[in-house]
Amino acid sequence: MVLKAIDFFCGAGGMSYGLACSGVKIIAGIDCDPACKETYEHNNKPSRFLERDVAMLNPTELAAELGVKQNDNDLILVGCSPCQFWSKINTDKTKSKKGAFLLREFERFVEWFNPGFVVIENVPGLLTKKEQTILPQFKKFLELRHYSYAHDVVNANFYGFPQNRKRYLLIATRLFERIELPKGCQDKRLVVRNFLGVKNGFRRIKAGHKDRTPFLHSAARLFAENARRMRNTPQNGGTRLSWKDDPDLQVAAYVGRDKIFRDVYARMFWDKPAPTITIRFNSFSNGRFGHPTENRAISLREGATLQTFPKKYVFKASNELTIARQIGNAVPPAMAERIGHHLIYKRSVLKSAPTPFDFGTM
């Protein structure tokens, strides 16, 4: 049988799409954000999008709705819950506190379905902030349920896409005694030059350009002061330090503070991986999101491309802020595809072998 998955906290569908590319059948994506529905459904057919709050969802009702049974060795439950609370980025933690503990809600579904595989992907803080997270309890839960697991903080640049993006990854199974994470490898081709630029289908545009087509090669406008800063930032990796002594350009918050937030108001390098694509990647003032040579921040489609979404992937929303959030919050499909191939291979090895931790109906 083919491996199948339910994608909890699916967002715009990066994990679902990548797993499907590997050959995993996606049964449904679940998310409480209605803004993700159109994007998810358009790109992930025939998978269903369930607009539900996982905290209010009952496993028995979900099983009946999706036609999924308990104790299915070929079922993957994926939980990539909102991660702002554990992120290093300075966000309003009160707004994201509820999301920080969605892992506990996800645990209810793992307990009830008892799937063959469990996958967690999140920010490194889920592991490194051990005193604050519920990860230790979740790992203990897995052990009590006779799951073996592997987990670590990985550099996703080793998993097929052009970003220096650190992520926490956990893969668990009850089908055998030991599981490993997919092997990563460094690929020197995974740099900005091989994804952006005219030769890769991105024509030169100016700040403020609006692309009304589904391609969405749209760049945010720059206010006059930031436009001057951009023009004075050297191409191919330049930073705000190049104009720190110009009183007309220097940002008051950074006077005498050259060693902090050095990537703010900076350009990407052509021959290095991009920085982590965040939900504000289309803003020059929010990170190293300046185009290497053009005087603008990267466009929506360029950000999606650096997240390894194919150019045919259509993002649907009423405004650019929502689209940028969908892209920045997504699990990059290339990483998801690597995970899918890994699980398919592991399951295929065991198809004809006994499964000592398959307890059947509980």
Known catalytic residues are 83
Torsion sign (Cα): 262, 266, 269, 275: positive
Cβ neighbors of 163 (< 8 A, separation 6 or more) are 156, 157, 273, 274, 275, 276, 277, 306, 307, 332
- The Cα–Cα gap between 282 and 299 comes to 6
Q: What angle do CA 50, 56, 59 make, to 5 degrees?
A: 70
For residue 46, whether the previous peptide bond is cis, meaning omega lies within 30 degrees of 0, is yes
**161, containing H or E segment:** none
CB 239 within 8 A of CB 266: yes
Give the CB-side neighbour count of residue 261, counting CA atoms within 13 A. 16
Q: What is the DSSP string of 163-223?
A: B--EEEEEEEESSSS---PPPP---TT-SGGGTSSGGGT-----TT----STT--------
- The Cα–Cα gap between 108 and 234 comes to 52
Most distant CA pair in the chain, distance: 72
What is residue 217's three-state secondary structure? coil
Beta bridge partners of 290: 267, 297
CB 101 within 8 A of CB 134: yes
Beta bridge partners of 77: 6, 118
CB 30 within 8 A of CB 68: no
